[in-house]
Amino acid sequence: MATLGALKKHKVTIVGSGNWGTTMSKLVAENTKANPTLFEEVVQMWVYEEEITIPKESRHYDAGSELANKPQKLSQLVNSLHENVKYLPNITLPPNVIANPDIVDACKNSTILIFVLPHQFIARVCDNLKGNIVPYARAISCTKGVDVSEKGIRLLSESIGVRLSIYCGALSGANIASEIAQEKYSETTVAYDPPPLDSRNPTPKGSPTSSQVDLIAPSKAIPSSRSARLQPLPSEYPPLSHENVRRLFHRPYFHVRMVSDVAGVSLSGALKNIVALAAGFVDGLGWGDNAKAAVMRVGILEMVAFGKSFFADSVHTSTFTEESCGVADVITSCMGGRNFRCAKMAVQRGISIDEVERTELNGQKLQGTSTAYEVNSFLRSMGKEEEFPLFTAVFNILEGKAKPEQIPDLIEPKD
Ligand SMILES: NC(=O)c1ccc[n+]([C@@H]2O[C@H](COP(=O)([O-])OP(=O)(O)OC[C@H]3O[C@@H](n4cnc5c(N)ncnc54)[C@H](O)[C@@H]3O)[C@@H](O)[C@H]2O)c1
Ligand SMILES: O=P(O)(O)OC[C@H](O)CO
């Protein structure tokens, strides 16, 4: 419910328009329409502009039309067809989703920014947004990955928060986008640990709460956005309480659990993609479900150990084991995710996973390969590769230094 006296509504922008970005726009737009006291009905969806021709198999392809084989701007196609024919074909978007190729215009005056971009594009997009958003905006990262530099490891929610000087939470779960777009039931986990000022609790500006610190590996500390001087949300806006954030995402087919463990949710989403690659490798060998279950078991243990080793002050182990973003996401990703499917195809065809990504995904991006490299570079810098044998095996397979057939030996505990 809006607070008494709140006059303004939150403007929401989805930053990204791929398979998950477009699905997110659909479900969020359904919710902004259903909650008119909290949110402006129109949802802007930033589209990385490209020219595409409508695929022949599309329900919108009209062989007799003069536009049939002519390249057209993706943003214009989304707005005229109410469908993203390239990244989410055959799903009708609500008319209140407006595709906008201008990132600054799409985010202008938005109080809620939902980042659903492949990891590799986050930095550039944030650079373009810096100084062009309202300073009290809040963000949610739906991107799966981590940032590693010579300074250490950082969650993507942190990267976005630091780059834009705003607070950023995280959404992650067992969420294969195409199923959610078809309104098949799934769960998700939203971690939002808002600054107390957003709940009308007058904590002094810039004071981190106990849960607002140490979201980076302490041994390689990078300054956290959570101790940055965050601007309070003006009182004319409905507070961004857990209840109101939940209303933005929860649908009858998309069940949201709100938590405060931003680090656990962000890390789960990133690390499970390495496990999914391992599952794809063993499945590609034709080894069956028992082999997949074995790498999933070891992978979940390594995810938990990674959180405990490097984010001990912020991560809750239960996030990995009890929430959709943990074990459940490992399971779904190892059954039908893109990382799993591409790793499997790479082994079956004897080609690199990058080649499979280029030839089979029609512009969609894998996040598991870059995460495996980033995590390995961090583990190596910490002298901890041996403590994470599955993550290390996946990296070595991608590098051509090990073979998928060696996975059982590589993950066997050493006495
Ligand atoms: N697809 C899913 O099922 C799913 C589910 C949960 C989370 N995620 C995560 O969401 C994030 C986004 O994935 P997605 O599935 O929406 O995207 P996608 O892989 O389907 O599509 C790639 C996107 O990148 C954009 N792009 C290409 N070049 C670009 C550039 N230079 N700058 C900016 N954008 C560019 C494309 O326009 C497209 O929107 C990823 O981190 C992914 O792991 C995906
Ligand atoms: O298709 P993937 O491998 O990018 O995984 C998609 C989602 O992360 C599953 O939750």
pLDDT at 4: 56
Write the CA distances from 234 to 9, 243, 321, 374, 397, integer angstroms: 11, 18, 37, 38, 51
pLDDT at 209 over 60: no
Tokens of 177: 């986008």
Q: Is 72 annotated as a binding residue?
A: no
Asked whether residue 134 falls in the same domain as residue 68, the answer is: yes
Asked whether residue 200 falls in the same domain as residue 276, the answer is: no
Q: Is 365 annotated as a binding residue?
A: yes
pLDDT at 415: 72
Q: Is residue 5 part of a domain?
A: no
pLDDT at 3 over 70: no
pLDDT at 406: 98
Q: Is residue 67 part of a domain?
A: yes
pLDDT at 349: 98
Question: Strand order of the sheet with strand 112-115?
Answer: 97-100, 39-46, 10-15, 112-115, 138-141, 167-172, 186-191, 254-259
Q: Is residue 353 part of a domain?
A: yes
Asked whether residue 273 falls in the same domain as residue 191, the answer is: no
| Angle in degrees, 0-180, between the axes of helices 368-382 and 353-360, rounded to the nearest 10 | 150
pLDDT at 200: 53
Q: Which of 232, 260, 288 is at the close of a domain? A: 260
pLDDT at 107 over 50: yes
Name the residue of 22, 176, 275, 327 whose CB sits within 8 Å of the most ligand 2 atoms, as the mutation to test its pocket.
176
Which residue lies with its CA nearest to atom 5 of ligand 2?
Answer: 337
Q: Is residue 2 part of a domain?
A: no
pLDDT at 136: 96
Average of pLDDT values for 1-22?
Answer: 86
User: Going by DSSP bridges, is the β-strand pair 146-149/138-141 parallel, antiparallel, or unpaired?
Assistant: unpaired
pLDDT at 229 over 80: no
Tokens of 243: 């209840």
HEC secondary structure over 103-142: HHHHHCCCCEEEECCCHHHHHHHHHHHCCCCCCCCEEEEC
Q: How far is the CA of 22 from the centre of ligand 2 (A)?
A: 14
Asked whether residue 67 falls in the same domain as residue 205, the answer is: yes
pLDDT at 218 over 70: no
Residue 340 maps to which CATH number?
1.10.1040.10
pLDDT at 225: 53
Give the separation between CA 320 and CA 323, rounded to whole angstroms: 6
pLDDT at 206: 36
Q: Tens of pLDDT along 162-191?
A: 999 999 999 999 999 999 999 999 999 999
Average of pLDDT values for 251-274?
Answer: 98
Asked whether residue 283 falls in the same domain as residue 250, the answer is: no
Name the residue of 175, 283, 344 whose CB sits within 8 Å of the most ligand 2 atoms, as the mutation to test its pocket.
175
pLDDT at 117 over 90: yes
Q: Give the closest ligand to the alpha carbon of residue 88.
A: 1
Which residue from 214, 190, 193, 211 is spatially nearest to 323, judged by alpha carbons? 190
Q: Tens of pLDDT along 267-306?
A: 999 999 999 999 999 999 999 999 999 999 999 999 999 9
ipTM above 0.90, yes or no: yes
pLDDT at 217: 45
Asked whether residue 178 falls in the same domain as residue 297, the answer is: no
pLDDT at 230: 87
Q: Tens of pLDDT along 138-149?
A: 999 999 999 999
pLDDT at 215 over 80: no
Among the ranges given (107-116, 118-127, 196-205, 389-398), the one the predictor scored with the smallest mean pLDDT: 196-205
Domain span at 328: 265-411
> What band does 414 get if pLDDT is binned at 50, 70 and 90?
confident
Q: How far is the CA of 37 from the centre of ligand 2 (A)?
A: 33
Cβ of 238 less than 6 Å from ligand 1: no
Give the separation between CA 316 and CA 167, rounded to whole angstroms: 20
HEC secondary structure over the chain: CCCCCCCCCEEEEEECCCHHHHHHHHHHHHHHHHCCCCEEEEEEEECCCCEECCCCCCCCCCCCCCCCCCCEEHHHHHHHHCCECCCECCCCCCCCEEEECCHHHHHCCCCEEEECCCHHHHHHHHHHHCCCCCCCCEEEECCCCEEEECCEEEEHHHHHHHHHCCEEEEEECCCCHHHHHCCCCEEEEEECCCCHHHHCCCCCCCCCCHHHCCCCCHHHCCCCHHHCCCCCCCCCCCCCCHHHHHHHHCECCEEEEEECCHHHHHHHHHHHHHHHHHHHHHHHCCCCHHHHHHHHHHHHHHHHHHHHHHCCCCCCHHHHHHCHHHHHHHHHHHHHCHHHHHHHHHHHHCCCHHHHHHHHCCCCCCCHHHHHHHHHHHHHHHCCHHHCHHHHHHHHHHCCCCCHHHHHHHHCCCC
Cβ of 19 less than 6 Å from ligand 1: yes
Any idea which residues carry the catalytic annotation? 272
pLDDT at 389: 98
Average of pLDDT values for 107-117?
Answer: 98
Cβ of 174 less than 6 Å from ligand 1: no
How many Cβ atoms are within 10 Å of 209's Cβ, its own excluded?
Answer: 14
Q: Tens of pLDDT along 39-97?
A: 999 999 999 999 999 999 999 999 999 888 999 999 999 999 999 999 999 999 999 99
Q: Is 284 annotated as a binding residue?
A: no
pLDDT at 223: 45
Q: Which of 205, 238, 260 is at the close of a domain? A: 260
Asked whether residue 150 falls in the same domain as residue 58, the answer is: yes
Asked whether residue 75 falls in the same domain as residue 191, the answer is: yes
Cβ of 276 less than 6 Å from ligand 2: yes
Q: Which of 223, 238, 260 is at the close of a domain? A: 260
Q: Give the closest ligand to the alpha carbon of residue 45.
A: 1
pLDDT at 224: 55
% of the chain at pLDDT higher than 70: 91
Q: Tens of pLDDT along 321-341?
A: 999 999 999 999 999 999 999
Name the residue of 179, 332, 365 whose CB sits within 8 Å of the most ligand 2 atoms, as the mutation to test its pocket.
332
Which residue lies with its CA nearest to atom 23 of ligand 1?
Answer: 18
Cβ of 114 less than 6 Å from ligand 2: no
Q: Give the closest ligand to the alpha carbon of residue 174.
A: 2
Asked whether residue 356 falls in the same domain as residue 212, the answer is: no
pLDDT at 208: 34
Q: Is 31 annotated as a binding residue?
A: no
Q: Is residue 196 part of a domain?
A: yes
Cβ of 176 less than 6 Å from ligand 1: yes
> What band does 5 get if pLDDT is binned at 50, 70 and 90?
low
How many domains are contained in the chain? 2
Asked whether residue 239 falls in the same domain as residue 337, the answer is: no
Asked whether residue 209 falls in the same domain as residue 295, the answer is: no
Among the ranges given (100-109, 189-198, 249-258, 339-348), the one the predictor scored with the smallest mean pLDDT: 189-198
Q: Is residue 346 part of a domain?
A: yes
Q: How far is the CA of 376 from the centre of ligand 1 (A)?
A: 23
Q: Is residue 1 part of a domain?
A: no
Give the separation between CA 411 and CA 305, rounded to whole angstroms: 14
> What band does 205 get if pLDDT is binned at 50, 70 and 90?
very low
Residue 147 maps to which CATH number?
3.40.50.720
pLDDT at 154: 96
Asked whether residue 128 falls in the same domain as residue 224, the answer is: yes
